[in-house]
Copies of this chain bind each other. A is one copy, B any other.
Amino acid sequence: MAKGNESWMETGRRELADYRLFKALETTSVGPHGKEGRFIVLDAPDWAVVVPALERGGRRYILSVSQYRHGAGVPMTEFPGGVVEPGEDPARAAARELLEETGYVAGRITHLGTCSPNPAFMSNSFHVFAAEDLSLVAEQSLDEHELVDVEEVPEDELYARVGSPPWGHALMATAAWYYRKWREGRR
């Protein structure tokens, strides 16, 4: 009997539109049940976010960034991050976004996990890092339409906040999931 954990065989793929952030494709695939279906796939570059941690006075703080999000139509508070450029290592992308959005460089970047932001229709991967040994070295360096506020949040308060507005970006809860598991594993 055909099962859910068996793979389909792709039999076609055509571009429907190019939206800069991603291309919209239609694929045709034959499943383990022998039937063919058509599916919409958004082909996007990978994304990376970084959880930047500062130690000060024996307490641990996380750097957050706030910016208006045009899909949801509200400002959101998030971890720094963005698109991995073609050929760029995801850890370098994380360090670059950290520098551009906050002005900090990290002495240590640790990979916490990689997953699919939405495997139902997105082809790309989402990479999560921690950044430590932070030094403020520059001003923000943002794109024309980026307006980003930086804030330091105590780590214990972060856990309480993530998941509720303005921490309402699902992928930040994903990042916090990896980060918390990593922190617990080190104790």
Residues of A within 8 A of B (CB): 2-8, 10, 16-17, 19-21, 24, 27, 29, 31-33, 35, 37, 39-42, 65-77, 113-123, 126, 144-145, 147-149, 159, 162-164, 166, 168-171, 173-174, 176-178, 181
User: Contact: A117 with B7, CB < 8 Å?
Assistant: no
**What residues of B have a CB within 8 angstroms of the CB of A120 in the complex?**
69-71
With the chains together, A66 CA to B113 CA distance in Å? 21
The distance from the CB of A39 to the nearest CB of chain B, in whole angstroms, is: 4
Contact of A76 among B35, B77, B116, B121 (CB under 8 A): B116
Q: A27-B70, A115-B163 are in contact. List 6 more A-B contacts (CB 8 A).
A: A4-B65, A4-B149, A5-B166, A6-B75, A20-B40, A70-B120
**Known contacts A21-B40, A145-B35, A170-B126; is-contact A8 B119 (Cβ 8 Å):** no
Contact of A171 among B65, B76, B174, B178 (CB under 8 A): B174
**What residues of B have a CB within 8 angstroms of the CB of A178 in the complex?**
163, 173
**What residues of B have a CB within 8 angstroms of the CB of A72 in the complex?**
116, 119, 122-123
User: Contact: B113 with A163, CB < 8 Å?
Assistant: yes
With the chains together, A83 CA to B24 CA distance in Å? 20
A101's closest neighbor in chain B, by CB?
B4
**Known contacts A10-B73, A113-B163, A170-B171; is-contact A4 B66 (Cβ 8 Å):** yes
Contact of A69 among B73, B116, B144, B168 (CB under 8 A): B116
Contact of A39 among B70, B74, B147 (CB under 8 A): B70
User: Contact: B177 with A119, CB < 8 Å?
Assistant: no
**What residues of B have a CB within 8 angstroms of the CB of A119 in the complex?**
69, 71-72, 74, 76, 168-169
With the chains together, A73 CA to B16 CA distance in Å? 19
